Structure 1
């Protein structure tokens, strides 16, 4: 099932004009505050009536301005998880969850309660009141309540924004499990590049009410236009790798199409497929394979593009296509490197040139590593 959105809406000083599709998986709406993310989500939920446009979910029309169709929010079969959990304080966790299930159509009330409880790890919380829960626990309960309403679409408006880093790290694996377990589209609003890189299967970038780039996450994040939208420090591409084995020195070998990567802090079992965000600022380039250096990860690549990284022109983003290893038949992986324009000149870098990308093992933080979306 795919969510298709085309809408226009005018506010004082800004006009929203967006078009995109959100297929099964996590579609991240990413952009600065005021770019229109929450407005889009509220229009999909039926909490805002756009001036013009059409919104469909599969073969169901949720809104069509030309045909004067506007389905009521409670008939859209949509679960909405807000930034604050909005749990009923006078009800137990179990009662909050069952309240969500009450909204599911009777024909769709399958035996999902135990499955949702197990997936979210909240069995021990069922008899507690919300006031006794941590922020991460409240978020998981709110997510469970939305899932038990048997939605055709899940909306999540910056659900981790109010949490500290420890609580975010606690709940991210549950969101990954949700993405990979439930066959439904999830529209996820965020201004956190790390969350988008970790969770998204599709990315829609908004700026001043307009879509600047949209598409599969691995394509958008490897595109210089998408990378610039993430900012200087967070721009980076996604690559996939499979856990090989853990060494006695604490490093784990991961095999990607271009060769091995050695990373610390990997807890996934051997054979697990992972996706890694390699930040552009953590990639150095060399014309010849470096020797006698401490960096362990050196991958051969070909330069595809060199584009300006910021307004002052001092830095560039180099888009690299990693050279596949012997016998590898998968699609070539893309990497980004952020370097100075002076380095480009000093190394005579140009599209088509073969180079070596050097990545520090300690530069890839555990938070930038997650399971490959199914």
Structure 2
């Protein structure tokens, strides 16, 4: 089941011209610079932009095509904006239940207790919005949208107005939403660290057009796209928690290409975990170095060598157990090591972030 969309909108100074195929499960990130069309696409999906040249099918049901148009209030979706926009005169409980009470009983698939537990709101139900932190307010806004039992959740940069501490507070709850609810999410962001942590699928936008769309792991490491050549170029490694080294405050992540030691994570052994590795934090060696302070060394195969816009550097694409890894190394090092496609080398990973 998928979401298929074709939108064309000409505003003179901005033109949106996109064809989209969005998976019917997981989190799809609309990613690009400001003005690339992310929010406009979200508004088209919601029906807030009524455009003449458009087509939208959701799980086989036509929401828009030709003269056929499903109005906003009939589309089974929830919308979370940048600002929480809670009702200041209502307590958290009543804010959460605002849409729920207006929903026919036979359409209620989620209950207040379930959403309160999922988003950690149980202790906040009797507070007013002015007594909440920014992260708490946004969690209430997400809960309010979920309690309308949507079949699709649209999120427009829900953490854009939050400080670093509040973002760190809300991210684990968004991960729980992704992992525990079978509601497809379309998530708008221009922060790659958010996308790397939450998304499964990505639509990369530039000036109102789609540069590429596909699995997140693939788009991050495609060297024909700008992401792999940016300062924040990175790769995602998907694995499971293999062990905890309590005395060293480390967690061991296992995947087909080996193991990685990362900072301690309060997750049970056997649970899925993803790690983000920046290209600048990976160096290569022809043999496994001894006596190094770098904890993580992976035997990898060089699958591609491409020029980097940064003078004097190249980008290596490395295969590690079927998952791609990027390394930004100097052109001189590449020549000295005589690196070539198909060669087996060791990747030394200096930094690993939980993604």
* TM-score, structure 1 as length reference: 0.90
* Secondary structure of 2:116 counterpart: helix
| Matching residue of 1:121 | 120
* Secondary structure of 1:288 counterpart: coil
- Choose the corresponding residue for 1:334, options 312, 324, 332: 324
Q: 1:300-330 deviations in whole A, cap 9, x for unaligned?
A: 11111112332x54322211111x4xxxxxx
Q: CA deviation at 1:172?
A: 0.6
| Matching residue of 2:191 | 192
Structure 1: segments with no counterpart, 5+ residues? 325-331, 370-374
Contact 2:110 2:147 in 1 (8 A): no
Aligned-residue Cα RMSD (Å) equals 1.6
1:303-314 to structure 2, matched below 5 A, reads 303-310=302-309, 312-314=310-312
| Matching residue of 2:30 | 29
Q: 1:49-90 deviations in whole A, cap 9, x for unaligned?
A: 2341211111221211xx212211111111000000011111
Q: 1:84-109 deviations in whole A, cap 9, x for unaligned?
A: 00111111111111112134343212
Q: 1:228-263 deviations in whole A, cap 9, x for unaligned?
A: 337633211111222222222222222221222122
Contact 1:22 1:185 in 2 (8 A): no
- Choose the corresponding residue for 2:344, options 354, 367, 372: 354
Q: CA deviation at 1:288?
A: 2.0
| Matching residue of 1:229 | 227
Q: 1:118 to 1:2 in 2, by over 3 A?
A: same
Distance (whole Å) between structure 2 residues aligned to residue 152 and residue 103 of structure 1: 16
Contact 2:98 2:144 in 1 (8 A): yes
Contact 2:110 2:149 in 1 (8 A): no
Deviation larger for 159-168 or 255-264 = 255-264
Contact 2:315 2:328 in 1 (8 A): yes
Q: CA deviation at 1:118?
A: 0.8
| Matching residue of 2:212 | 213
* Secondary structure of 2:78 counterpart: strand
- Choose the corresponding residue for 1:364, options 326, 338, 352: 352
| Matching residue of 1:289 | 288
| Matching residue of 2:297 | 298
* Secondary structure of 1:91 counterpart: coil
| Matching residue of 2:317 | 319
1:263-278 to structure 2, matched below 5 A, reads 263-278=262-277
Distance (whole Å) between structure 2 residues aligned to residue 321 and residue 86 of structure 1: 46
| Matching residue of 1:328 | none
Distance (whole Å) between structure 1 residues aligned to residue 229 and residue 102 of structure 2: 41
Distance (whole Å) between structure 2 residues aligned to residue 97 and residue 340 of structure 1: 53
1:10 has 2:10 as partner: yes
| Matching residue of 1:344 | 334
Distance (whole Å) between structure 1 residues aligned to residue 308 and residue 104 of structure 2: 50
- Matched residues, number: 353
| Matching residue of 1:372 | none
* TM-score, structure 2 as length reference: 0.95
Contact 2:221 2:325 in 1 (8 A): yes
Deviation larger for 299-308 or 337-346 = 337-346
* Secondary structure of 1:84 counterpart: coil
Distance (whole Å) between structure 2 residues aligned to residue 111 and residue 162 of structure 1: 28
Distance (whole Å) between structure 2 residues aligned to residue 57 and residue 307 of structure 1: 39
Q: CA deviation at 1:350?
A: 1.9
Contact 2:221 2:227 in 1 (8 A): no
Q: 1:216 to 1:105 in 2, by over 3 A?
A: farther
Distance (whole Å) between structure 1 residues aligned to residue 175 and residue 299 of structure 2: 31
| Matching residue of 1:56 | 57
Distance (whole Å) between structure 2 residues aligned to residue 104 and residue 150 of structure 1: 9
